[in-house]
Structure 1
Amino acid sequence: MDSAANKQTVTRFNIEVIQQGRREAFEALMAPDFVNWSAPPQARGAEGMWNTFENVLRPALSDLKVVIHEQLCEGDKVTTRKSITGVHSGSLMGIEPTGRAVSIDAIDIVRVTDGQYREHWGVNNLAAVVGALRIPPSPDRSGT
């Protein structure tokens, strides 16, 4: 596949799987031998990734959206800089809903072959977002 097709595969995953929670898209886009190198060893397969989106992020964030800021492709690897946004309306890693807007920034590298995810490496600021949600908001002192 060419660079444009590989980028489209990654875009489709971000919109249809992460944002929309479509299991059939997930199954179509994941290679049987997929490895998520950013996950703990026991969760490196495809189901570990599905669990993160379907059982951690989606229940915690209403109005979840994925915004792709930039994509670069070299060979079979697509690098994506993105934000996952939403409103903290459900429990997130033990933190009860705050009603606050959140933005999780991430950079992913995905190896795509034959239109499927084969490998994933990524970094994100989820730990910082969770830490910020633990801090009570300061009162509005603007008078408005």
Structure 2
Amino acid sequence: MTATIEQNKAIVRRFNKEIIEEGNPQSFQEIVDPAFINHTAAKGMDKGPAGLIHTFENILRPAFSDLKVTIYEQVGEGDKVTTRKTISGIHTGTFMGVAATHQPVIIHVMDMVTIKNGKYYEHWGVNTMMALAAELKAAHTDSK
């Protein structure tokens, strides 16, 4: 494995720790390329850096306290890094219209990132965020 692939994996780990878990705006500026594009952004969402930070700061962080990213596997090839991970926390705020349940939550994620000049340049991913919203809504409805 080349040093570049290992460096790219380290950038992805740093993104997950410093941006998703910690919400560090300086790290976001350092890691995300201004030309970043999220190829799998939700319909109607900004596909650039603004949409990415919006997801973390206006959707995940207000809804879930104690955010933690657990990386299970990373595979690197060329300028791409694929990661299998979970994002977990406690549902302490409104998430997609569902009031806080104070229950632990887990979002499963598989993503692929292109690293260009040491920065996040492109992203493709799948996650269980919508399934989690449906589960929380069902649980909230059942508890009434």
**What TM-score do you get using the length of structure 1 for normalisation?**
0.92
Q: 5+ residue gaps in structure 2? A: none
Once the 2 structures are TM-superposed, how far is the Cα of residue 107 of structure 1 from its aligned partner?
0.4
Corresponding residue of 1:131: 134
Q: Partner amino acid for 1:81?
A: R
Q: Residue type of the partner of 2:29?
A: E
Deviation at 1:41, TM superposition (A): 5.7
Displacement, 1:136? Answer: 2.5
2:115 is matched with 112
RMSD between superposed Cα atoms in Å: 1.5
SS at match of 2:113: strand
Name the larger-Rg structure. 1
Whether 1:61 and 2:54 are equivalent positions in the alignment is no
Identity of aligned residues (%): 45
- The amino acid of 2:8's aligned partner reads N
Aligned residues: 139
Q: Are 1:89 and 2:63 matched, yes or no? A: no
Which letter does structure 1 place at the counterpart of 2:59?
V
Deviation (angstroms), 1:13: 0.3
- SS in structure 1 at match of 2:125: strand
Q: CA deviation at 1:94?
A: 0.7
CA displacement, residues 16-59 of structure 1 (integer Å, 9 cap, x when unaligned) = 00000000000110112110001136510001000000110011
Q: What letter is aligned with 2:26?
A: E
The runs of at least 4 aligned residues of structure 1 exceeding 3 Å deviation read none
Superposition pairs for residues 1-144 of structure 1, below 5 Å? 2-39=4-41, 40=43, 42-136=45-139
Gaps of 5+ in 1: 140-144
For 2:73 and 2:58, how far apart are their aligned partners in 1? 27
Aligned to 1:142: none
